[in-house]
Structure 1
């Protein structure tokens, strides 16, 4: 799960287009790859990547100041495709709807201009 980094790590509110949260996610994926490579030195990089997955929390996150924008999603997806990750998901499909500006299990907290219905 590429989310909930902590208050001082990935503050990304009001930074749409800067890919702060996306960079945090791709960094976490790269770090996981390094850790798994240490545990499985006989596996190729492709085999390690196939063992991994990523699940970001779309929109306003439950750590104050963390927001995952569509630009972050594009960056994470590009990285996932380049690596041929074994799994890509989102937390959660029920939140892939515009509405509100706060944390909710029913919407992502971004406007419909920022992320229309099922944009993630």
Structure 2
């Protein structure tokens, strides 16, 4: 029986200590309120920035599609240019090389083109 009484007394002491600790914590908790309010305010202030970041990310997702589309348009143009170059090269060769002559003693250079 005395063990039960001692244990009960210890429980009562512990409960009283816990109550004191809780009472001591109250001022600290009250001091924390403005900080918590500031944090909430900061978090609310961050919402538009987060929304902007999301919007920018969505725009960035669309941009590669535009780049792919533009690249797809560039490829045929490059092929056309290559094809045109293939046509230009024989034409240039077909123009016949110019005959270069200088007029002696004058330094004047005269170009003669072969006529076809």
Shorter-chain TM-score tier: under 0.3
TM-score, normalising length from structure 2? 0.22
Higher helix fraction (1 or 2): 2
- Which protein has the larger Cα radius of gyration, Structure 1 or Structure 2? 2
More RCO (CA 8 Å, sep 6+): 1
Instruction: Give the structure-1-normalised TM-score.
Output: 0.21
